[in-house]
Amino acid sequence: MPNIKSAKKRLRQNEKRRVRNKSVKTYLKTITKKVKNQEDKNFANELLKEAYKAYDMAASKGVIHKNNAARHKSRLTKFFNKKFGLEEAITNPKPQPETSS
């Protein structure tokens, strides 16, 4: 236990932040599991949007790093597309029209 007044305050602040961050991280895990376990494509798509929002919010608040959020969103999208048969949309993008000069 700290003796200095400012150190005591920091201890209180850190504990508040730890609890808040823990709940956000737990929610991120939960929403990710919900997306992965959902069988209905439309509902899964809504959950995916919610997961995107949650990851962006967590990154903006500093709970997780922005690259961490981007990585999770990317992997979740990849999983979603593979599960619901959208693999060809990723591997075979539409060809760009050629411009002749």
Mean pLDDT by 10 residues, the chain (101 residues): 95 96 97 93 93 96 96 95 70 61 59
**What pLDDT was estimated at residue 90?**
45
What would the DSSP string read from start to end of 31-50?
HHHHHHH---HHHHHHHHHH
**What pLDDT was estimated at residue 5?**
96
**What pLDDT was estimated at residue 46?**
93
CB 31 within 8 A of CB 56: no
Q: Where are the domains of the chain?
A: 5-84
3-state secondary structure of 66: helix
Question: What is the pTM for the complete model shown?
Answer: 0.77
**What pLDDT was estimated at residue 59?**
96
**What pLDDT was estimated at residue 93?**
53
**What pLDDT was estimated at residue 85?**
78
d(CA 20, CA 27): 11
- Architecture, CATH, for domain 5-84: Up-down Bundle (1.20)
Structure tokens at 24: 């956000």
Structure tokens at 16: 């508040």
Closest to 55 measured CA to CA, from 21, 35, 25: 25
